[in-house]
Amino acid sequence: MAVADLALTSPDITWGQRIDDRFAGQTGAETPRLVVSGVPAGTVELAVVCHDPDAPMPHGFTHWTLYGLPPVDGELSVARGRPGPHDDDGFGYVGPFPPFGHGDHHYYFWVYALSRKVEGTPDRATFLDTYADAVIEQARLVATYSR
């Protein structure tokens, strides 16, 4: 698996910086815009995962899974994707909401270029286990949030 060309950026989130409150779980949970570039040849679809490994849970906390995105460069159209489950018992994007006083949490937004389509709407762990062999490239954008 290569990680050379695929890139993930956002006009709403800056690498390593604090995520704005408008994207947080307790203040609106607006879905941030994501932009992908360098989609490799052979990509059948893109998938997005947002995960907080700092959450005080055994496997962190998944904030977003999104499947079935077209394999093209540019801003990802959430409406064209298929929302998967997050760890707050729902589907789609759920914004950051770490415990008060818990310090900075890191939010990893991942994009995966896949050689085959994702079937259904697996949770993060199932997706990673089932589709690891289909990942052509992956890229991430990391930001923080605390309250």
* pLDDT tens-digit readout, 79-131: 999 999 999 999 999 999 998 888 899 999 999 999 999 999 999 999 999 99
Q: Which residue has the higher pLDDT, 25 or 124?
A: 124
pLDDT at 4: 66
pLDDT at 147: 82
The chain-wide mean pLDDT, for the chain, equals 94
Question: Please, which residues have CB within 8 angstroms of residue 60's CB and are 6 or more apart in sequence?
Answer: 51, 52, 53, 54
pLDDT at 126: 98
The closest of 41, 47, 60, 49 to 102, measured between CA atoms, is: 60
